[in-house]
């Protein structure tokens, strides 16, 4: 059989068509999700209003579920449990505390007319960007309005999958983002908008407990372990990271240099180089990373890529020392710690209250602007 003759330019045309198809499929999926979430919002609002104003009982939800499933037998999502979730979904996101938090973040003035209606519309625009089953997880696992808004914004901005969202909740990403100081020079090395995005991408501490290690190790051993559990490491890094290579070779004249781990961030459109350190941060680490970034920008960066970013991942750091080490660096560099095991001994894990539980108790005892939104009747079965 003779090989097919490929017309000039066919490969490029095929690539463009495949890219267009993928883009169209994603756009269609987002459109379907938006309409589904807004439908569930309206159903939840209707149930809540009828129960509040017309004193409908709980049995109405069971009846509504049966009637909807009879009328639309090919549609899923109308189980009694999911209808209760729709009610809860509307209730917690129309709560004054949630709307007030949204107003503070968006710096909306109190003098605006019909302010709550405007905020409710803004909330719906944000909520519609997040898939329904992400909302189900957030309703079940995140009660504080400020924390829920944090995860909603991150999911909408970075396109977190459900698995990534659950991993970030489990790793207490909100609590860590609020309490732990990030150390980097992004504000002076990058344009303002890109610096903000890079700051959100970086964590102050990375949880590497999934490696199952309880002892210090050499840098190459740590690298081997991370490569062996690469999927877990990418989940900890956050959505958008694509692995490029380990010990990535950079040549300059007759000499060779190697980046421990190199990633590409799809949404930031930048190369991200990781330098692994088994010791505490030392100022010379910043100079080495700055040099690597110069090489990456010169030899590997694509014409439409943003400036490459470096992350020095070390056993511990002193924030003041890091600040002085990065002062003279023109490339964007972040310094973060990694954690290999829980700070609690194994025999105490699960027996002492968590930081979140202590914070909940404090909020219950002391006056606070951040209170948990009221919850609807918990669903019995998944929809």
pLDDT tens series, the chain, 383 aa = 555 666 777 888 888 888 888 888 878 888 888 899 999 999 999 999 888 877 777 788 899 999 999 999 988 889 999 999 999 999 999 888 888 777 766 655 444 446 667 767 777 888 999 999 999 999 999 988 888 988 998 888 778 888 888 988 988 888 877 666 789 999 999 998 889 889 888 888 888 888 887 666 788 989 999 999 998 899 889 878 999 999 999 999 999 999 999 999 988 999 999 999 999 999 999 999 999 999 999 999 999 999 999 999 999 998 889 999 998 899 999 999 998 865 444 443 443 334 443 334 333 323 333 333 333 344 444 44
The closest of 176, 173, 207, 183 to 339, measured between CA atoms, is 207
Would 4 be classed as within a structural domain? no
Would 43 be classed as within a structural domain? yes
> What are the angstrom distances between the C-alpha of 206 and each of 202, 235, 271?
9, 11, 19
Contacts of 216 (CB under 8 A, 6+ apart): 278, 315
In terms of DSSP bridges, do strands 205-207 and 333-339 run parallel, antiparallel, or are they unpaired?
parallel
3-state secondary structure of 256: strand
HSE-CB of 351 using CA atoms within 13 angstroms: 6
Tokens describing residue 127: 């909520």
pLDDT at position 351 is 39
Whole-angstrom distance, CA of residue 257 vs CA of residue 249: 6
Domain boundary at 171, 191, 214, which?
171
Tell whether 34 and 107 lie within a shared domain.
yes
Would 233 be classed as within a structural domain? yes
Whole-angstrom distance, CA of residue 381 vs CA of residue 78: 11
* This prediction's pTM: 0.52
Tell whether 148 and 197 lie within a shared domain.
no
**Residue 143 structural domain:** 10-171
Tell whether 82 and 29 lie within a shared domain.
yes
Whole-angstrom distance, CA of residue 142 vs CA of residue 137: 8
3-state secondary structure of 5: coil
Would 357 be classed as within a structural domain? no
Tokens describing residue 179: 């309490």
Number of domains the chain contains: 2
Tell whether 15 and 128 lie within a shared domain.
yes
Whole-angstrom distance, CA of residue 50 vs CA of residue 57: 9
pLDDT at position 308 is 96
Tell whether 281 and 261 lie within a shared domain.
yes
Residue 280 DSSP class: B
The domain spanning residue 190 has which CATH number? 3.40.1350.10
Tell whether 220 and 272 lie within a shared domain.
yes
The closest of 337, 339, 341 to 312, measured between CA atoms, is 337
Would 271 be classed as within a structural domain? yes
Tell whether 226 and 335 lie within a shared domain.
yes
Tell whether 301 and 200 lie within a shared domain.
yes
The closest of 217, 206, 209 to 279, measured between CA atoms, is 217
Rounded to 5 degrees, what angle do the CA atoms 143, 144, 145 make? Answer: 110
The closest of 97, 92, 75 to 127, measured between CA atoms, is 92
Contact 322, 329 (CB under 8 A): no
Phi then psi dihedrals of residue 208, to 5 deg? -110, 30
- CA quadruple 280, 282, 286, 292: dihedral, nearest 10: -70
Kindly write down the DSSP assignment for every residue of 219-249, as one continuous string: HHHHHHHHHHTHHHHHHHH-TTEEEEEEEEE
Would 128 be classed as within a structural domain? yes
Residue 354 DSSP class: P
pLDDT at position 341 is 67
pLDDT at position 3 is 57
Would 345 be classed as within a structural domain? no
Rounded to 5 degrees, what angle do the CA atoms 182, 187, 188 make? Answer: 130
Domain boundary at 111, 142, 171, which?
171
Tell whether 234 and 326 lie within a shared domain.
yes
Tell whether 161 and 188 lie within a shared domain.
no
Tell whether 163 and 266 lie within a shared domain.
no
Tell whether 206 and 287 lie within a shared domain.
yes
Phi then psi dihedrals of residue 176, to 5 deg? -70, -40
Would 23 be classed as within a structural domain? yes
Whole-angstrom distance, CA of residue 145 vs CA of residue 101: 7
Whole-angstrom distance, CA of residue 368 vs CA of residue 299: 53
Contact 290, 313 (CB under 8 A): no
Contact 308, 273 (CB under 8 A): yes
HSE-CB of 72 using CA atoms within 13 angstroms: 8
Question: Which residue matches tokens 């560099």?
Answer: 333
């Amino acid at each position: 059989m003779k090989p097919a003759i490929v017309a000039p330019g066919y490969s490029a045309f095929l690539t463009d068509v495949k890219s267009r198809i993928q883009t169209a499929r994603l756009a269609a999926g987002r459109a379907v999700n938006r309409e589904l979430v807004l439908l569930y919002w309206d159903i939840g609002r209707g149930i809540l209003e009828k129960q509040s104003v017309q004193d409908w009982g709980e049995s109405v939800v069971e009846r509504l579920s049966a009637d909807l499933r009879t009328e639309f037998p090919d549609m899923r999502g109308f189980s009694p449990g999911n209808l209760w979730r729709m009610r809860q979904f509307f209730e917690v996101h129309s709560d004054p505390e949630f709307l007030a938090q949204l107003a503070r973040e968006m710096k909306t003035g109190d003098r605006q007319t019909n302010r709550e209606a405007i905020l409710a519309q803004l909330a719906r625009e944000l909520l519609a960007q997040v898939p329904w089953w992400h909302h189900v997880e957030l309703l079940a696992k995140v009660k504080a309005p400020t924390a829920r808004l944090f995860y909603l914004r991150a999911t909408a901005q970075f396109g977190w999958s459900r698995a990534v969202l659950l991993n970030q909740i489990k790793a207490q990403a909100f609590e860590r983002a609020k309490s732990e100081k990030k150390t980097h020079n992004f504000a002076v090395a990058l344009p303002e908008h890109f610096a903000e995005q890079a700051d959100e991408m970086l964590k102050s501490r990375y949880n590497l407990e999934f490696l199952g290690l309880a002892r210090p190790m050499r840098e190459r051993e740590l690298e081997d372990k991370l490569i062996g559990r690469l999927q877990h490491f990418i989940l900890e890094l956050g959505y958008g990271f694509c692995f490029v290579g380990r010990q990535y070779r950079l040549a300059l004249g007759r000499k060779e240099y190697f980046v421990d781990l190199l990633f590409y961030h799809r949404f930031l459109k930048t190369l991200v180089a990781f330098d692994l350190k088994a010791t505490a941060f030392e100022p010379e680490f910043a100079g080495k990373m700055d040099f690597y970034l110069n090489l990456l920008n010169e030899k590997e960066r694509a014409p439409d890529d943003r400036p490459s970013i470096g992350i020095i991942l070390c056993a511990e750091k002193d924030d003041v020392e890091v600040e002085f080490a990065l002062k003279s660096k023109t490339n964007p560099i972040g310094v973060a710690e990694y954690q290999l095991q829980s700070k609690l001994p194994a025999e105490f894990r699960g027996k002492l209250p968590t930081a979140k539980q202590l914070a909940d108790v404090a909020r219950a005892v002391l006056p606070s602007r951040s209170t948990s939104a009221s919850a609807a009747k918990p669903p019995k079965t998944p929809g």
